Amino acid sequence: MVFLYDAFNWLNNFIWSYILIILLVGLGVYFSFKTGFVQFRMLGEMFRLLGEGAMKNESSNEKHGSSGISSFQAFCISTASRVGTGNMAGVAIAIVIGGPGAVFWMWVMALIGSSSSFVESTLAQIYKVKEGDHFRGGPAYYMEKALGKRWMGVVFSILISITFGLIFNSVQANTVSFAFEKAFNVNRMYLGIAISIATAIIIFGGVKRIARAVEYIVPVMAVAYVAVALFVLVKNFTMIPSVIESIVSNALGFKQAVGGGLGVVIMQGVKRGLFSNEAGMGSAPNAAATANVTHPVKQGLIQTLGVFTDTILICSATAFIILMSGVDLQGESNGIQLTQEALVSQVGPWGSIFIAICIFLFAFSSIIGNYYYGETNIEFLNGNKIWLNIYRCFVVFMVMYGCLAKVQIVWDMADLFMGFMAIMNLVVIAILYKVAIAALRDYITQKKKGLNPQFKTSAVPGLKNAECWDE
């Protein structure tokens, strides 16, 4: 076990220190310039499109009739996956290891990386496929259809199915079990059984049941958590300048609070930021592809907003709760237990219970969202329902396992597999980004004419295998 831990640790450090930071930051900056900083200049359009999508249960007046799910439901599926343990336990771990400065680099990754999210989600929409009454797509699909490399899609599908459906779901279940054990003294085995049964009921019901479940859970949990965080901010408003100063000074190396210096701070911020918002990782495009919209860029913009929602809003809420609480960052508590202690210090004993309930909703919605990423990729590998049902059983088993496992090895496995996934996807979107840029230009041109943008394959010269958009 010691050897296994050391191997995970070495690989993680190598991938995150030398490969991913360069790819994530480099491509994020490059895409930002190439899109004209779409993540900032079209922020208002993102909110408009999200509101428009929320008003539609089924997008009956969209491109493909009543097929698929609404853009808002697709946003909720991806947000369900994004907003989970990374927002509470992950932020706490980043602050303990990397100091307050890690929060700054999480912000930077969200602001820069959101352009990567736009590119990958737009590509997923362009190369999506129709199956029955719904759509599916993602990196595996544009690897096959745009690059003609099915083998690459197969490798990615295997990675994401293992990473999200199995490992990440273990992480989510693990965090829930510790939170409930601390708040309610609940036996983790009994909790694991309950979560496993609830997971099975939803995932065996298909994508429409998944969409309906997260459509209700995600808005409620996000609003409730942010409301409590705002209360903490108002209560401690005099501390806001000093907390921000601590974050910035530690981030830029003016004041180091951790061993290992600035490199540790940056790596933790980037790693936990990516784990939380998933920008460029290749996960959110699987949800983006499910939406029924008239133009791929619509969903690309909506998914970009999901990155801001996750990191700038939810992760920042956790960070300020912890940093304003005065809890000992070097104490025995880590992960979700540290977040619980921080909130208890601000609002009283019910804070631990509130965090436990929030993390349950966050994590459970993530389990459902993560599973769907696995499902769409299992269908890419083999459309046989027998294999899909076997996969569903493994997902339920890993949820149960996560409730009983030790946290560190689970987190390390998540980091490693996430790194492999992100490298593959980032390389591919670096090759294909011009397709997304051409689609963006077409969208802006139509908007300037006062039209509701309608996508046609002729808008992208040489575009092939965009079967859902054939004219």
Q: Domain 2-469 classified CATH 1.20.1740.10?
A: yes
- Residue 60: the pLDDT is 42
Confidence check: pLDDT of 124 > 70: yes
Q: What is the DSSP letter of 463?
A: -
Predicted pLDDT of residue 54: 67
CA–CA dist 431, 336 (Å, integer): 39
Confidence at residue 201, expressed as pLDDT on a 0 to 100 scale: 84
Which pLDDT tens digit goes with each residue over 160-207?
Answer: 888 888 888 887 787 777 767 766 777 778 888 888 888 888 888 766
Lowest mean per-residue pLDDT among 327-336, 348-357, 362-371:
327-336
Query: What is the residue extent of each domain of the chain?
Result: 2-469
Stretch among 285-294, 321-330, 366-375, 448-457 having the lowest mean pLDDT: 321-330
The answer to whether residues 303 and 117 touch, using CB atoms and an 8 Å cutoff, is yes
Query: What is the separation of C-alpha 215 from the centre of its chain, rounded to a whole number of angstroms?
Result: 16
Please give the average per-residue pLDDT across 72-85, as a whole number: 70
267 — pLDDT class (breaks 50, 70, 90): low
Write the single-letter amino acid at 151.
Answer: W
Task: Report the alpha-carbon distance of residue 188 to residue 134 in Å, rounded.
Answer: 37
Confidence of residue 59 (pLDDT cuts 50, 70, 90): very low
> Could you report the per-residue pLDDT of 390-432, keeping only the tens digit for each?
888 999 888 888 887 665 666 666 677 778 888 999 999 999 9
- Alpha-carbon distances, residue 43 vs 38, 115, 288 (angstroms): 8, 12, 18
* Structure tokens given for 223: 């609003």
* pLDDT per position as a tens digit, 13-49: 788 777 887 888 889 899 999 999 998 888 888 888 8
Both tokens of 163, joined, read 């990473």
Q: How confident is the model at residue 361 (pLDDT cuts 50, 70, 90)?
A: confident
